[in-house]
Structure 1
Amino acid sequence: MPEVIFNGPDGRLEGRYHHSKVPNAPIALLLHPHPQHGGTMNNKVVYGMYHTFVRRGFSTLRFNFRGVGRSQGKFDNGQGELSDAASALDWMQSYNPNAGACWVGGFSFGAWIGMQLLMRRPEIDGFISVAPPANIYDFTFLAPCPSSGLIVHGSSDELVPEPSVAKLAAKLGSQKNIKVRYRTVEGANHFFGAHMDPLNELVDQYLGESLDGATRAEPAAALAAALP
C-alpha cells in the first residue's frame, strides 16, 4: 500500500495506491467524505472499499482531496474536488494505459463527486455509491446516468433519509440499458458504525458478479464480432 504524491490542479495530492499484478487489471478510484467534516482517505468506509477492490484484482487508488492531510490547496465546495478526482484518474491511467475497465467509488460527499466524474469521463464502466447525500446535493445531472452500478445506504441514516436515496436509485434504475442495484444495510447509520461487515460484503458481492458477467460477455462479444 505505497504512499504516492501526484500533481493536482491546486498543488500536490497525497494518496495510497495498490498496483495489481494481474495483466491489464481494471482500475478503481475511491473518494472520501466531506473534507470539512473530518473526511479523509482513511475513513473506514473508503478504506474498506479500497481493500475490497484490491482483493478483486484492481489497481486501486484512494487519495486526500485538496487541503486534507498532506494534500495542498483548500476546500473548494466540490468544484475543485471534482478537478482533483479527474487528476487522480489521469494519474492512474498513465500507469495503467491498458486497463481492462475503470470504476469509481465514493462515500457520502465522495459519492456525489464520483457521480459527477462518471458523467464527465465516458471510460468509467461502473460505480459504487455509498450513502450518497441525495437530500443535500443536486443529483439531477445524472440525466441519463451513463453506467450501471451499486448504491448502498443505511436504513437508519440520521443525516440522509433513506427514502431520498431510494428515490434517486429508482430514478436512475428506470433508464434504458442501465442497471442500478439498490441495497440497504439494516440498522446502519450514515457512518455505518458497527455495520461495516455487511457493507463490505455487499460491495464484494456486487464486484464479483459484475466481473464474472464481464468475463462471460467477452467470448460472446468476440464471437459476434467474427460473424459476417
Structure 2
Amino acid sequence: MFKFIPSKHDDKLIQVHFDCNVTGNEAPAIIIAHPYGPLGGNMNNNVVISIQRHFVSRGYITACINFRGCGKSQGRTSWTGIPEQQDYKSVLDYMTNNEELGYPKPTKFILCGYSYGAMIANSIECTNLPCAYLLISLPLGVMWALATTKQHVFKKQRPQPTLCIYGDRDQFTGTSRFLNWCQAFSNITIQCVQGADHFWFDYEQELLNHVENWRLGLSL
C-alpha cells in the first residue's frame, strides 16, 4: 500500500510503501530508508527490497520511504540531510500515532537505512517506543559531501541496540573508519562481510542472514 505523508519539515508529501501480512492488534515495525537520490537511490533498490521482504515474512509492519525528490515524493534532495531527517521522523510519528493506516499498532521499531538512508536513520531520536538501529553500509567516508555543515548531526552514537554491517570492499568507507566510529557505542554489533562491497550485489542473502541473527538476539 502506497501513501503520501506530509513532512514535518515543510509539509511536502513523502511517498511511503507500507506492507504487513499479519493480523491482530499489535506487531513490531521497521522503517527502511534508501541510498542517495541524485545518484539513483530510491526504494526500488536491491538492499531495500531484500530487507523489506525479509521483515514482512517475519511478521513486521514495514515502511519503505522515498525521500524528497525521489520516486513520487515532492521536493528536491537537500544539501544538509536535515529535511530528509524530518521526512523519516514524519513516517515514524505517523506509524506511532495515526490509526488510519489500518495495520496493527507498532509495539517497537527497527530504524533501518542503507547507505545515505543509514546516515539519516542514525540521526533519528526514538523515545516513545523501544527502538533498535539497523545501519547498512553507513557512508562515513563521504558524509562530509552528503551533509555538508550538518554532518555532526548524523554521526551521533545511540544507546539503543545497533547493528552496523558493511562489506570489507566498501568503496566509500574503509574498515578502520567503521571500527573507529563504532568504538563509542555502548550497545553495538559490528559485522564485516568478507567480499561484499557497498552495493551488496550477490551478497543480499548473506546480508539477510546476519541481520536475522542480530534480530533474533534483540531484547527490546
**Partner of 1:147: helix, strand, or coil?**
coil
How far the C-alpha of 1:143 sits from its partner, in A, is 5.2
Corresponding letter in the other structure for 1:79? I
CA contact (8 A) 2:157 2:184 kept: no
Q: Which runs of 5+ in 1 are unaligned?
A: 215-228
Change (3 A) 1:200 1:22: farther
**Structure 1 counterpart of 2:113, from 106, 115, 121:** 106
RMSD over aligned Cα, in angstroms?
Answer: 2.0
Q: Which residue of 1 aligns with 2:133?
A: 127
CA contact (8 A) 1:128 1:149 kept: yes
Q: Supply the distance in 1 between the matched residues of 2:105 and 2:115 (Cα, whole angstroms).
A: 30
Change (3 A) 1:140 1:5: closer
> For 1:142-172, what per-residue CA distance to the aligned partner results, in whole angstroms no more than 9, with x for missing partners?
5552311111000111122122112222221
Higher alpha-carbon Rg: 1
Corresponding letter in the other structure for 1:26? P
Residues 206-225 of structure 1: matches in 2 within 5 Å?
206-210=214-218, 213-214=219-220
Q: Which residue of 2 aligns with 1:217?
A: none
Structure 2 length as normaliser, TM-score?
A: 0.85
**Partner of 2:159: helix, strand, or coil?**
coil
How far the C-alpha of 1:71 sits from its partner, in A, is 0.4
How far the C-alpha of 1:140 sits from its partner, in A, is 7.0
How far the C-alpha of 1:83 sits from its partner, in A, is 0.8
Q: Which residue of 1 aligns with 2:47?
A: 45
Q: Which residue of 2 aligns with 1:168?
A: 181
Corresponding letter in the other structure for 2:63? L
Q: Which residue of 1 aligns with 2:200?
A: 192
CA contact (8 A) 2:30 2:61 kept: yes
CA contact (8 A) 1:25 1:99 kept: yes
Q: Supply the distance in 1 between the matched residues of 2:70 and 2:155 (Cα, whole angstroms).
A: 28
Q: Which residue of 2 aligns with 1:31?
A: 33
> For 1:115-155, what per-residue CA distance to the aligned partner results, in whole angstroms no more than 9, with x for missing partners?
101xx232351010001011222457655523111110001
Q: Which residue of 2 aligns with 1:220?
A: none
CA contact (8 A) 1:56 1:207 kept: no
Corresponding letter in the other structure for 1:92? M
Number of residue pairs aligned between Structure 1 and Structure 2: 204
Q: Supply the distance in 2 between the matched residues of 1:139 and 1:188 (Cα, whole angstroms).
A: 27
Change (3 A) 1:142 1:53: same
Q: Which runs of 5+ in 2 are unaligned?
A: 144-150
How far the C-alpha of 1:70 sits from its partner, in A, is 0.6
**Partner of 2:27: helix, strand, or coil?**
coil
